[in-house]
Amino acid sequence: MAELTLVRPQLEGEYYTLEQIRGMIERIKPEQRKEYKSLPTMSFFHRDSSRIRAIVGPVGSGKTSAAVMDIEMIAMDLRRDFGIKETRWVCIRNTYLELMDTCFQTVVYWMQGGRWYDKRKAYRWEDKINDKTTELLFRSCDRPGDVSKFKSMEITGYWMDESIELTTELKLMIRNRIGRYPAREHVRQVVLGGLPAETEKGFKHEGIKTVEEKV
Protein backbone atom coordinates (compact mmCIF):
# COMPACT_ATOMS: atom_id res chain seq x y z
CA MET A 1 0.00 0.00 0.00
CA ALA A 2 1.35 3.42 -0.91
CA GLU A 3 2.23 5.72 1.97
CA LEU A 4 0.66 9.16 1.86
CA THR A 5 2.09 12.05 3.86
CA LEU A 6 -0.69 14.52 4.61
CA VAL A 7 -0.04 18.25 4.51
CA ARG A 8 -2.31 20.49 6.57
CA PRO A 9 -2.31 24.16 5.49
CA GLN A 10 -3.14 26.90 7.98
CA LEU A 11 -6.91 27.23 8.10
CA GLU A 12 -8.17 30.81 7.97
CA GLY A 13 -11.91 30.98 8.49
CA GLU A 14 -14.33 28.09 8.03
CA TYR A 15 -12.86 26.64 4.82
CA TYR A 16 -9.50 26.33 3.08
CA THR A 17 -8.93 28.95 0.40
CA LEU A 18 -8.93 28.06 -3.29
CA GLU A 19 -5.16 28.63 -3.39
CA GLN A 20 -4.60 26.25 -0.47
CA ILE A 21 -6.64 23.50 -2.12
CA ARG A 22 -4.81 23.98 -5.40
CA GLY A 23 -1.58 23.61 -3.44
CA MET A 24 -2.76 20.25 -2.09
CA ILE A 25 -3.53 19.11 -5.64
CA GLU A 26 -0.30 20.34 -7.21
CA ARG A 27 2.08 19.05 -4.54
CA ILE A 28 1.71 15.42 -5.69
CA LYS A 29 3.56 14.59 -8.89
CA PRO A 30 2.71 11.62 -11.14
CA GLU A 31 6.10 10.00 -10.53
CA GLN A 32 5.44 9.96 -6.76
CA ARG A 33 2.39 7.73 -6.98
CA LYS A 34 2.97 4.06 -6.24
CA GLU A 35 1.13 1.06 -7.61
CA TYR A 36 -2.02 0.17 -5.70
CA LYS A 37 -1.74 -3.24 -4.04
CA SER A 38 -4.70 -4.29 -1.93
CA LEU A 39 -4.39 -6.36 1.23
CA PRO A 40 -6.47 -9.58 1.46
CA THR A 41 -9.32 -7.84 3.31
CA MET A 42 -9.36 -5.01 0.77
CA SER A 43 -9.46 -7.54 -2.08
CA PHE A 44 -12.49 -9.16 -0.43
CA PHE A 45 -14.07 -5.71 -0.18
CA HIS A 46 -13.46 -5.02 -3.88
CA ARG A 47 -14.89 -8.37 -4.97
CA ASP A 48 -18.06 -8.10 -2.90
CA SER A 49 -21.12 -6.98 -4.88
CA SER A 50 -23.41 -6.11 -1.97
CA ARG A 51 -25.38 -2.90 -2.31
CA ILE A 52 -24.12 -1.74 1.09
CA ARG A 53 -20.58 -2.58 2.13
CA ALA A 54 -18.51 -1.61 5.15
CA ILE A 55 -14.88 -2.09 6.04
CA VAL A 56 -13.16 -1.46 9.38
CA GLY A 57 -9.57 -1.68 10.49
CA PRO A 58 -6.73 0.04 12.37
CA VAL A 59 -5.13 3.34 11.40
CA GLY A 60 -2.89 2.97 8.36
CA SER A 61 -4.50 -0.24 7.10
CA GLY A 62 -5.41 1.28 3.73
CA LYS A 63 -9.18 1.72 4.16
CA THR A 64 -9.30 5.19 2.59
CA SER A 65 -7.18 4.22 -0.40
CA ALA A 66 -9.32 1.11 -0.86
CA ALA A 67 -12.48 3.23 -0.93
CA VAL A 68 -11.05 5.58 -3.56
CA MET A 69 -9.88 2.71 -5.74
CA ASP A 70 -13.21 0.94 -5.35
CA ILE A 71 -15.01 3.99 -6.69
CA GLU A 72 -12.77 3.85 -9.74
CA MET A 73 -13.39 0.12 -10.17
CA ILE A 74 -17.14 0.68 -10.14
CA ALA A 75 -16.75 3.56 -12.61
CA MET A 76 -14.79 1.23 -14.89
CA ASP A 77 -17.50 -1.44 -14.60
CA LEU A 78 -20.21 1.07 -15.52
CA ARG A 79 -18.17 2.31 -18.48
CA ARG A 80 -17.50 -1.19 -19.79
CA ASP A 81 -20.87 -2.83 -19.11
CA PHE A 82 -23.32 0.05 -19.64
CA GLY A 83 -21.40 2.67 -21.61
CA ILE A 84 -21.72 5.20 -18.77
CA LYS A 85 -18.92 7.75 -19.11
CA GLU A 86 -19.64 9.96 -16.09
CA THR A 87 -20.24 9.09 -12.45
CA ARG A 88 -20.84 11.34 -9.46
CA TRP A 89 -20.10 10.42 -5.86
CA VAL A 90 -20.42 12.15 -2.52
CA CYS A 91 -17.74 11.69 0.12
CA ILE A 92 -19.07 12.35 3.63
CA ARG A 93 -17.27 12.76 6.92
CA ASN A 94 -18.17 14.28 10.26
CA THR A 95 -16.14 17.51 10.00
CA TYR A 96 -14.77 19.61 7.16
CA LEU A 97 -11.16 19.47 8.39
CA GLU A 98 -11.19 15.67 8.68
CA LEU A 99 -12.75 15.46 5.23
CA MET A 100 -10.16 17.65 3.51
CA ASP A 101 -7.11 16.54 5.50
CA THR A 102 -7.64 12.82 4.87
CA CYS A 103 -10.25 11.86 2.25
CA PHE A 104 -9.57 14.70 -0.19
CA GLN A 105 -5.80 14.29 -0.13
CA THR A 106 -6.09 10.54 -0.71
CA VAL A 107 -8.43 11.15 -3.66
CA VAL A 108 -5.94 13.61 -5.17
CA TYR A 109 -3.12 11.10 -4.69
CA TRP A 110 -4.86 8.38 -6.71
CA MET A 111 -6.75 10.62 -9.15
CA GLN A 112 -4.04 13.04 -10.16
CA GLY A 113 -4.59 15.89 -12.57
CA GLY A 114 -8.20 16.63 -11.68
CA ARG A 115 -9.86 20.01 -11.27
CA TRP A 116 -11.33 21.52 -8.11
CA TYR A 117 -14.63 23.46 -8.24
CA ASP A 118 -14.62 25.55 -5.10
CA LYS A 119 -18.25 26.72 -5.00
CA ARG A 120 -19.56 23.17 -5.36
CA LYS A 121 -16.79 21.64 -3.22
CA ALA A 122 -16.26 19.11 -6.01
CA TYR A 123 -13.22 17.39 -7.53
CA ARG A 124 -13.60 16.29 -11.16
CA TRP A 125 -11.15 13.83 -12.69
CA GLU A 126 -11.08 13.00 -16.40
CA ASP A 127 -9.64 9.60 -17.25
CA LYS A 128 -8.76 10.16 -20.89
CA ILE A 129 -7.27 6.70 -21.33
CA ASN A 130 -10.54 4.95 -20.44
CA ASP A 131 -12.82 7.75 -21.70
CA LYS A 132 -14.65 8.41 -18.43
CA THR A 133 -15.05 11.14 -15.82
CA THR A 134 -15.37 10.74 -12.06
CA GLU A 135 -16.71 13.57 -9.91
CA LEU A 136 -16.57 13.58 -6.11
CA LEU A 137 -18.54 16.00 -3.95
CA PHE A 138 -17.07 16.60 -0.48
CA ARG A 139 -19.57 17.20 2.31
CA SER A 140 -19.33 17.36 6.10
CA CYS A 141 -22.26 16.54 8.35
CA ASP A 142 -21.62 17.63 11.94
CA ARG A 143 -24.60 19.91 12.56
CA PRO A 144 -28.26 18.98 13.20
CA GLY A 145 -29.46 20.70 10.01
CA ASP A 146 -26.77 19.27 7.72
CA VAL A 147 -28.75 16.15 6.81
CA SER A 148 -31.23 18.20 4.78
CA LYS A 149 -28.56 19.21 2.24
CA PHE A 150 -28.33 15.61 1.03
CA LYS A 151 -32.05 15.16 0.29
CA SER A 152 -31.98 16.53 -3.26
CA MET A 153 -28.68 14.98 -4.34
CA GLU A 154 -28.44 13.06 -7.60
CA ILE A 155 -25.47 10.72 -7.32
CA THR A 156 -24.12 7.42 -8.57
CA GLY A 157 -23.02 6.29 -5.12
CA TYR A 158 -21.59 7.49 -1.83
CA TRP A 159 -18.64 6.98 0.48
CA MET A 160 -18.91 7.54 4.23
CA ASP A 161 -15.59 7.79 6.02
CA GLU A 162 -15.67 6.93 9.74
CA SER A 163 -19.38 6.26 9.34
CA ILE A 164 -19.78 5.44 13.03
CA GLU A 165 -19.56 9.21 13.66
CA LEU A 166 -22.45 9.94 11.27
CA THR A 167 -26.13 9.81 12.17
CA THR A 168 -28.49 6.94 11.46
CA GLU A 169 -30.89 9.43 9.85
CA LEU A 170 -28.28 10.32 7.23
CA LYS A 171 -27.40 6.68 6.53
CA LEU A 172 -31.00 5.66 5.97
CA MET A 173 -31.74 8.70 3.82
CA ILE A 174 -28.65 8.86 1.57
CA ARG A 175 -29.18 5.38 0.14
CA ASN A 176 -32.30 6.68 -1.62
CA ARG A 177 -30.18 9.17 -3.56
CA ILE A 178 -27.96 6.67 -5.39
CA GLY A 179 -28.44 5.60 -8.98
CA ARG A 180 -29.83 9.02 -9.90
CA TYR A 181 -26.81 10.16 -11.91
CA PRO A 182 -26.70 10.01 -14.83
CA ALA A 183 -29.88 7.91 -14.50
CA ARG A 184 -31.05 4.91 -12.51
CA GLU A 185 -28.52 2.18 -13.23
CA HIS A 186 -26.97 -0.86 -11.57
CA VAL A 187 -24.72 0.76 -8.99
CA ARG A 188 -23.15 -0.13 -5.67
CA GLN A 189 -22.72 2.05 -2.63
CA VAL A 190 -19.40 2.47 -0.87
CA VAL A 191 -19.67 2.71 2.91
CA LEU A 192 -16.39 2.99 4.78
CA GLY A 193 -16.34 2.48 8.54
CA GLY A 194 -18.33 0.54 11.13
CA LEU A 195 -22.10 0.33 10.92
CA PRO A 196 -23.90 0.84 14.27
CA ALA A 197 -26.24 -2.01 15.18
CA GLU A 198 -29.42 0.05 14.74
CA THR A 199 -28.36 1.13 11.25
CA GLU A 200 -27.51 -2.40 10.14
CA LYS A 201 -30.87 -3.58 11.51
CA GLY A 202 -32.61 -0.90 9.45
CA PHE A 203 -30.80 -1.93 6.28
CA LYS A 204 -31.60 -5.62 6.82
CA HIS A 205 -35.25 -4.74 7.37
CA GLU A 206 -35.20 -3.29 3.84
CA GLY A 207 -33.63 -6.47 2.48
CA ILE A 208 -30.18 -4.93 1.96
CA LYS A 209 -27.16 -7.10 2.68
CA THR A 210 -24.36 -5.62 4.77
CA VAL A 211 -20.76 -6.77 4.96
CA GLU A 212 -18.31 -5.82 7.69
CA GLU A 213 -14.88 -7.39 7.54
CA LYS A 214 -12.15 -6.70 10.07
CA VAL A 215 -8.49 -6.39 9.10
Domains of the chain: 44-214 (3.40.50.300)
How many Å apart are CA 130 and CA 49, to the nearest integer?
22
User: Residue 2: which pLDDT band, with cuts at 50, 70 and 90?
Assistant: very low
Has residue 9 got a pLDDT over 80?
A: no
How many Å apart are CA 118 and CA 1, to the nearest integer?
30
User: Residue 32: which pLDDT band, with cuts at 50, 70 and 90?
Assistant: low
How many Å apart are CA 63 and CA 39, to the nearest integer?
10
Q: What is the pLDDT of residue 71?
A: 92
Strands of 86-93's sheet, edge to edge? 115-117, 122-127, 132-140, 86-93, 157-160, 190-191
User: Residue 3: which pLDDT band, with cuts at 50, 70 and 90?
Assistant: very low
CA distances in angstroms from 88 to 50, 60, 181, 187, 201, listed in the order given? 19, 27, 7, 11, 28
Has residue 126 got a pLDDT over 90?
A: yes
Q: Is the pTM of this model over 0.85?
A: no
Has residue 200 got a pLDDT over 80?
A: no
Q: Residue 151, class by beta-carbon neighbours within 10 Å (0-12 exposed, 13-18 middle, 19+ buried)?
A: exposed
